Amino acid sequence: MTKLRGILTAAAVSLILATGANQVSAAEAEALPPAQDWSFNGLFGTFDRAALQRGYKVYKDVCASCHAMKYVAFRNLVDIGFTEGEAKALAEEYEVAGEPDEFGDPTTRKAALSDIFPAPYQNPQAARAANSGALPPDLSLITKAREHGPDYIRALMVGYEDAPADMTMGPGMNYNVYFPGHQVAMPAPLSEGMVEYADGTEASVEQMAEDVTTFLHWAANPELERRHQIGFQVMVYLILLTGLFLIVKQRVWRKLDH
């Protein structure tokens, strides 16, 4: 009898614990980044070229002052619809370290198509020193490196709010609904009308967040469109092949005695 009571109590306790755990995950679930209808989603998704170019502008004018993108070179900008001349001109806006001169002294030169995007800080120590001790991560692969990828990055950009009264914020920290733990060292990077888009699109925070996320997702998946295209071709090929096999099968079986 006591044994049975023991079992029942254990069951009741675990039920209460499980309900408690559910409550915690319900609270966390509130901070799930809202799923977006991206043009690159799905089997046949492609990147919107205009959004990519606007996104590059946001990265260049805003994010690049803190974040490097060491896997993207200026020549890659041709993939997002810039001409080679335009990409070259964009590269030449930057000065990078050149070959030492004949006395062995360091020189600088204009960046070329083959150069990667210049990093904002000399080293991680300098990056941390300028950002309340936090390291702004390289953004080349960031949409792959975070759960919910593009949805999370976009949400992070628009998720800044005043901290709840009962929350003590660390020095230099900012409240963000979507950042794990809600305290992020990055100050809200975007504000209305911060960049001037060449195509006249209004630069709302929401628009810039979407555009820069599209650009970052392209940087992490430059082969995405090719992959989707090959996937489509393989599917058409397999369907045709299945049809052919059916015809051959019928022909072979027709000749056989049953």
Binder to ligand HEC among 51, 52, 58, 111 (CB under 6 A)? 58
Contact, 137 vs 143, CB < 8 A? no
Q: How far is the CB of 127 from ligand HEC (least distance, A)?
A: 8
Site string for ligand HEC, 230-249 (x = CB under 6 A): --------------------
Question: Among residues 242, 103, 127, 231, which one has the least CA distance to residue 185?
Answer: 127
51 binds ligand HEC (CB under 6 A): no
Q: How far is the CB of 93 from ligand HEC (least distance, A)?
A: 18
Instruction: Please tell me the distance from the alpha carbon of residue 164 to that of residue 73, in angstroms, as a whole number.
Output: 42
Instruction: Please tell me the distance from the alpha carbon of residue 2 to that of residue 204, in angstroms, as a whole number.
Output: 67
Q: How far is the CB of 161 from ligand HEC (least distance, A)?
A: 16
Angle subtended at Cα 27 by Cα 188 and Cα 211, rounded to the nearest 5 degrees: 35
Choose between 67 and 88: whose C-beta lies nearer to ligand HEC. Answer: 67
Instruction: Please tell me the distance from the alpha carbon of residue 48 to that of residue 156, in angstroms, as a whole number.
Output: 21
189 binds ligand HEC (CB under 6 A): yes
Site string for ligand HEC, 133-152 (x = CB under 6 A): -x-xx----x---x------
155 binds ligand HEC (CB under 6 A): no
Binder to ligand HEC among 39, 131, 201, 204 (CB under 6 A)? 131
Q: How far is the CB of 210 from ligand HEC (least distance, A)?
A: 11
186 binds ligand HEC (CB under 6 A): yes
Contact, 140 vs 71, CB < 8 A? yes
Instruction: Please tell me the distance from the alpha carbon of residue 78 to that of residue 82, in angstroms, as a whole number.
Output: 5
67 binds ligand HEC (CB under 6 A): yes
Q: Which two tokens stand for residue 110?
A: 């204009």
Instruction: Please tell me the distance from the alpha carbon of residue 240 to that of residue 153, in angstroms, as a whole number.
Output: 40
